[in-house]
C-alpha cells in the first residue's frame, strides 16, 4: 500500500510539472515570454528581448523598451528612396573582440575534454588562456603583411599589454571599433554612436558624423590625421559605402599587434534588408599589406529599442613604461 501511495504521489507531481511546462510554453507563444527565440534565462549568444541588450553587448549601452521587431518587415526608406539605416543595432560575429564562453568565434571550435578545467572555454579549448581569447588570433582570416613588418608585429603581440594603444587610453579607431550600436540617418549625413568595451572590454564609447555627398576626398584635409579617419559617404545601389582615409597610425586593426600606416584606406559597406543589416569592411594599406584585407562580414540586427550609449569614460595612463611581464590581453 505504501508503495502504491508513493507511486500515485509521484505520478501526480509529474503530471503537475508537465501541465506547468505546457502553460509556460503557451504563454511564451502568446507573447508573455522572453525575446523571440531566446532560451530561458538568456544564455550566451541568445537574442535579447525587444528593446534590450544581449550579453556581450559592451559597456555603456542599455535598451529603451521598444516593440517586438518584425523579421519580415520591409526595408524603411528615406525620402530620396534610399534605405533608412536609422535604428538600434546589435552585432554578432565580430573579429576584434573576445566573444563569450560557449560561443564560436573566428574559424576555430574545439570541445573541452572532461580532464580540463571547469572554466575551459569551448571556443578556444583553453583554460582561461588570455593569449588565445581573441578572435583576431583565432580566425584564419588575418591581414597579410609584407615580410619586413612581421618582426615588429610579433614584438607588439608579445608585449601587447604594453604596446596595444588601448593600454594608453587611445580610441580603438576604425575598423577596430566595429559596427555602431545606434544610427541616425538622413538624406545628407549619417551619425553613428559606438559602445565602449567592444574589444574584450577595451575601448570607449565614440561617435562619428559622416556627410553623404558622393564626392571625392580633399587631399589637403586627408593630412589632418584622426583615429576614425576622414570619411565621405556615397550610395552604391541600396548599399551605403563609407570611404575613409587620413588615419593616425597610432591605432591597431585588431589585437595581435596588427598595425597599419597612415596611408590606410578603409571601405565600410552597410546593406539593410528589413530589420537586418550586413556590415562589410575592406582594409587597404599599400605600405604594409601585401593585398587588401577583407574582414569577415558581420550581421547586425535591429533591436526595436532605443539604445542609450553613455559618454566616454575617464582613463589615465599610469606606469605604462614599467610593464614587466608579457601577460597578453
Greater pLDDT, 325 or 135: 325
- Write out the E strands in 93-238: 120-121, 126-127, 182-185, 189-194, 206-211, 230-236
pLDDT for residue 105 is more than 60: no
Residue with cell 575592406: 282
Show Cβ contacts of residue 317 under 8 Å, excluding neighbours closer than 6 positions.
167, 168, 169
- Distance (Å, rounded) from C-alpha 243 to C-alpha 150? 27
pLDDT of residue 178: 92
CB atoms within 10 A of CB 270: 24
Least confident span in 28-42, 47-61, 102-116: 28-42
**Cross-strand bridge partners of residue 191:** 184, 209
Average pLDDT over residues 105-128: 53
Block residue for cell numbers 539593410: 272
Better-predicted residue by pLDDT, 65 or 92:
92
- The pLDDT value given to residue 203: 84
> How much is the average pLDDT of 246-274?
95
Tell me how far apart the alpha carbons of residues 11 and 9 are, in angstroms, rounded to a whole number.
Answer: 5
Cβ proximity of 105 and 123 under 8 Å = yes
Mean pLDDT of 122-145: 62
Q: Angle at Cα 229 formed by Cα 223 and Cα 231, nearest 5°?
A: 100
Separation CA 144–CA 123 (nearest Å): 24
Q: Is 8 helix (H, G, I), strand (E, B) or coil?
A: helix
Note the pTM of the prediction, 2 decimals.
0.73
CB 265 within 8 A of CB 244: yes
- Average the pLDDT over 301-313 and give the result: 88
The grid coordinates listed for 313 are 569614460
Q: In this predicted structure, what is the pLDDT of residue 108?
A: 47
pLDDT band at 51 (very low <50, low <70, confident <90, very high): very low
Confidence of residue 121 (pLDDT cuts 50, 70, 90): low
Amino acid at each position: 500500500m505504501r508503495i502504491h501511495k508513493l507511486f500515485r504521489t509521484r505520478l501526480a507531481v509529474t503530471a503537475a510539472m508537465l501541465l506547468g511546462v505546457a502553460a509556460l510554453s503557451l504563454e511564451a507563444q502568446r507573447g508573455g515570454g522572453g525575446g523571440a527565440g531566446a532560451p530561458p534565462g538568456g544564455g550566451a549568444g541568445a537574442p535579447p528581448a525587444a528593446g534590450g541588450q544581449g550579453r556581450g553587448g559592451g559597456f555603456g549601452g542599455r535598451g529603451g523598451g521598444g516593440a517586438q521587431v518584425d523579421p519580415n518587415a520591409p526595408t524603411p526608406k528615406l525620402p530620396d528612396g534610399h534605405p533608412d539605416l536609422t535604428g538600434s543595432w546589435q552585432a554578432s560575429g565580430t573579429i576584434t573582440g573576445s566573444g563569450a564562453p560557449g560561443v564560436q568565434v573566428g574559424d576555430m571550435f574545439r570541445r573541452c575534454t572532461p580532464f580540463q578545467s571547469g572554466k575551459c572555454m569551448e571556443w578556444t579549448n583553453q583554460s582561461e588562456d588570455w593569449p588565445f581569447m581573441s578572435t583576431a588570433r583565432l580566425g584564419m582570416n588575418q591581414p597579410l603583411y609584407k615580410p619586413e613588418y612581421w618582426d615588429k608585429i610579433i614584438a607588439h603581440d608579445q608585449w601587447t599589454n604594453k604596446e596595444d594603444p588601448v593600454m594608453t587610453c587611445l580610441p580603438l579607431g576604425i575598423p577596430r571599433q566595429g559596427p555602431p550600436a545606434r544610427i541616425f540617418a538622413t538624406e545628407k549625413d549619417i551619425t553613428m554612436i559606438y559602445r565602449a568595451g567592444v574589444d574584450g572590454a577595451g575601448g570607449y564609447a565614440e561617435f562619428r558624423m559622416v556627410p553623404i555627398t558622393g564626392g571625392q576626398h580633399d587631399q589637403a584635409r586627408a593630412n589632418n590625421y584622426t583615429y576614425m579617419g576622414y570619411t565621405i559617404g556615397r550610395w552604391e545601389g541600396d548599399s551605403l559605402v563609407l570611404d575613409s582615409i587620413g588615419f593616425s597610425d597610432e591605432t591597431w586593426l585588431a589585437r595581435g599587434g596588427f598595425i597599419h600606416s597612415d596611408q590606410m584606406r578603409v571601405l565600410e559597406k552597410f546593406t539593410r534588408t528589413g530589420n537586418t543589416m550586413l556590415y562589410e569592411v575592406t582594409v587597404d594599406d599599400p605600405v604594409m599589406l601585401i593585398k587588401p584585407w577583407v574582414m569577415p562580414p558581420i550581421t547586425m540586427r535591429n533591436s526595436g529599442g532605443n539604445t542609450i550609449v553613455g559618454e566616454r569614460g575617464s582613463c589615465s595612463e599610469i606606469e605604462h613604461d614599467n610593464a614587466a611581464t608579457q601577460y597578453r590581453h
